Structure 1
């Protein structure tokens, strides 16, 4: 049995379907099925019952899954100990990063990091901050937006004020009625926008909401005059001089998204983690 086999079992159990797992790990569905059959033959036990909707763990499967978790944890602990004992920065650095940060800032930072520490293997997952928070203990470092992780050490990297943009002006004396273009984000972002719109409904009224998957799509729709869009400053600097916009404020203060780097206590003893966090905290974002 290889460590990848144990990882596959955990992924199958988490996702619940062979098809979904194959898509997530970027291999074919028959290859996943064949690998699962090999593992079950190796243990001489059925691990999952295949139902039309999902995979269901058998009693033997539960025991094998517990063993798989221990094997992976012990493997990672060994790698961590080896990394700590070595004078050279190496090992694995696992990062979970907000999609916006991964698109806007992370490529430059990781480019510099891998140039300095070429022996470090980067394990990167990107997504919505809310999803990252649920599984934050699976990673060395989490870069998230919104509220910080209460169970972790968190350092605020930068503040990101919000603005509402449109191709049409924002009149002060009359009600502005336009569609609102929204991009997929975590609940805290939507709450900030909804709360601001509620308190400014006498000035701005969304006729309807158009929801898109990515922030870049949202920007392009706005630029084509399809509707208004609330965007953070970090992705809209170049738009300030091109399009009408209003800063979101509450009680005279900017409505702001915070960006944090969060990590578990003691994890900075790993040189590759400590160096990456140092690089993040030294970075000037905008």
Structure 2
């Protein structure tokens, strides 16, 4: 059994379908089915019952899954011990990062990091902050937006003010009624926008809302005149002079998204993690 086989079992149990798992790990559905059959043959037990809607763990499967979790945990502990035993910065650095930060800032930071520490293997997962918070213990470092992780050491990297953009002006003395385009984000982002709109309902009234998957798609829809869009400064500074916009403020204070880097206590003993945190906290973002 390879460590990848144990990781596959955990992923199958997390997602619940062979098709969804294959899509998540970027291999074919038949390949996942074949690997699962090999694992079940290896243990001589059925691990999952295949129902029309999802995979269901068998009693034997529950035992095997517990074993898989322990194997992966021990593997990571071993890698961590080996990393600490060497003066050279190497090993694996696992990062979970908000999609906005991974698109806008992370390429430059990781480019500098890998130039300095070419022997470090980077494992990177990107997504919305809500999903990262749910599985934060699976990573050395988490970079999230909104609320900080309560069970971790968290450092606030920067504040990202929000602006509402449109191709049409924002009149001061009349009600603006336009479609609102939003992008897939965590609940805290939507709550900030909804709260601001509630307090400015005499100025701006969304006539309908459409949601797109990516922030870049949201920007392009706005630029084509399809509707208004609320965007953070970090991804919209190039739009400031080209399109009408209004800074989101409440009681004279800007409405912002906080960006945090979080990690578990003791993880800075790993040289590759410590080096990355130091580089991240020295970065000027806005």
Does TM, scored on the shorter chain, surpass 0.5?
A: yes
What is the CA–CA distance in structure 2 between the aligned matches of 1:118 and 1:195, rounded to whole Å? 46
Aligned to 1:113: 113
1:50 deviates by 1.1
Matched residue SS, 2:79: helix
Alignment correspondent of 1:45:
45
> Paired residue for 1:172?
172
1:205 match: 205
Which residue number in structure 2 is paired with residue 157 of structure 1?
A: 157
1:48 Cα deviation from its structure 2 partner: 0.9
Unaligned runs of 5+ in 2: none
Shift of 1:180: 0.7
Alpha-carbon displacement from aligned partner over 1:32-85 (angstroms, at most 9, x marks no partner): 111111111111111111111111111111111111111100000000000011
Match of 1:83 in 2: 83
Q: Deviations along 1:102-155, whole A, 9 cap, x unmatched?
A: 000001111111111111111110000011001100100000000111111000
Structure 1 CA distance, aligned partners of 2:152 and 2:253?
A: 27
Partner of 1:4: 4
Shift of 1:19: 1.1
Residue 186 (structure 1) aligns with = 186
The root-mean-square deviation of aligned C-alpha atoms, in Å, is 0.7
Alignment-derived partner of residue 235 in structure 1: 235
Equivalent residues in 2 for 1:1-286 (5 A)? 1-286=1-286
Instruction: Give runs of ≥4 in structure 1 deviating > 2 Å.
Output: none
Q: CA–CA distance in 1 between the matches of 2:4 and 2:210?
A: 41
Between the aligned partners of 2:115 and 2:83, the Cα distance in structure 1 is 18
TM-score in terms of structure 1 length: 0.99
Matched residues in 2 for 1:219 and 1:158: separation?
22
Measure, in 1, the Cα distance between the counterparts of 2:168 and 2:24: 41
Q: Quick one: distance in 2 between partners of 1:25 and 1:172?
A: 50
The structural deviation recorded for 1:26 is 1.1
TM normalised by structure 2 equals 0.99
- Which deviates more from structure 2 when the two are superposed, residues 8-17 or residues 70-79? 8-17
Mapped partners of 1:135, 1:83: distance in 2: 23
CA distance in 1, matches of 2:26, 2:220: 29
Once residues 157 and 203 of structure 1 are traced to their aligned partners in structure 2, the CA distance between those partners, rounded to angstroms, is 33
Runs of at least 5 residues in structure 1 that lack an aligned partner in the other structure? none
1:82-103 Cα distance to aligned partner (Å, 9 max, x none):
0011100011100000000000
Measure the CA separation in 2 of the matches of 1:223 and 1:33: 44
